[in-house]
Amino acid sequence: MGLIRKFLAWLTVPVICLLALAVYIARPFNPDNNRLLGWAVARVGRFLLGMERPLEGADYMLQDRPVVVIANHQHNDDLFVMGDLLPPRTVTVGKSSLIWVPFFGQVFWLGGNVILNRGRSHKAIAVMQATSEAIRRDRKSLWVFPEGTRSRGRGLQSFKKGAFHAAVAAGAPITMVCASQYYDRTLGWSGRREPVAIRILPPVETAGLTVEDIPQLMAQCHQQMETAIASLAPG
């Protein structure tokens, strides 16, 4: 049953993206499209998976100004765990090749996300410039998995600098989303997915910080997230 649930949950993703194209075409490049899509994908996915997602600290997710959101990345199913937590006007960063992925690529492009040229996407300076400009000029929020790769429930990995450079360059606060460790396990004969708890931490202000402050900022955020994740009951 668990495999059937997972298959159905992921099958709905391209279907929802296809249906969402009508909204994206009606108001192209509006970043709030991403929030609506994330909400739909996460809620439908968790329903099909039978997953419970206790949430603490929802009030810490800023709604009235641009913010850089960082979250720990464990599995592809993070889409269902966190997709409905995006604040208003949230975008992410992706390579230009993504726009060729059927349905998903088209909504990614029409969602006003930051798309990097493949030849420059590996350069931290290109990421920093593109994202900080989106935050300042377009008043977009940014969602980043700073570990850069899935940990598969093995604890919080080291952070890459891109999100922190963007936050400092734009003077935007950083909000941390912490998910309890989970291992893609199912519970009982029904195949319901193990619960995943989420804790959102108070925002960390970056106004007045410089590039020299980034290592300390990264260490502070990593320590706070690591402590929060350890205190959450694993799935």
What pLDDT, on the 0 to 100 scale, is given for residue 44? 98
What pLDDT, on the 0 to 100 scale, is given for residue 212? 96
- In order of 19, 37, 189, 191, 228, the CA distances from 42 in angstroms are 15, 8, 23, 18, 22
Transcribe the chain into DSSP letters. -HHHHHHHHHHHHHHHHHHHHHHHHHSTT-THHHHHHHHHHHHHHHHHHT----EE-GGGS--SS--EEEE----TTHHHHHGGGPPTTEE-EEEGGGGGSTTHHHHHHHTT-EEE-TTTTT-HHHHHHHHHHHHHHH--EEEE-TT-S--TTS-PPPPPSHHHHHHHHHT--EEEEEE----S-EETTTTEEPP--EEEPPPB--TT--GGGHHHHHHHHHHHHHHHHHHSPP-
CA atoms within 13 A on the CB side of 27: 9
Mean pLDDT of 148-175: 89
Mean pLDDT of 118-143: 74
Q: Which of 14-28, 53-67, 143-157, 168-182 is least confident?
A: 143-157
Percent of the chain with pLDDT over 70: 93
What pLDDT, on the 0 to 100 scale, is given for residue 206? 97
**Confidence class of residue 141 from pLDDT cuts 50, 70 and 90?**
very high
Answer for the pair 86, 143: CB distance below 8 angstroms, yes or no: yes
Mean pLDDT across the chain: 90
What pLDDT, on the 0 to 100 scale, is given for residue 130? 73
Closest of 179, 170, 216 to residue 198, by C-alpha? 179
Q: Which of 79-83, 126-130, 132-136 is least confident?
A: 126-130
CA distance 40 to 60: 22
Q: Which of 40-54, 65-79, 101-115, 218-232 is least confident?
A: 101-115
Please say if the pLDDT value at position 26 is more than 70.
Answer: yes
Answer for the pair 196, 182: CB distance below 8 angstroms, yes or no: yes
CA distance 53 to 199: 10
Mean pLDDT of 143-150: 88
Please say if the pLDDT value at position 11 is more than 80.
Answer: yes
Please say if the pLDDT value at position 229 is more than 70.
Answer: yes
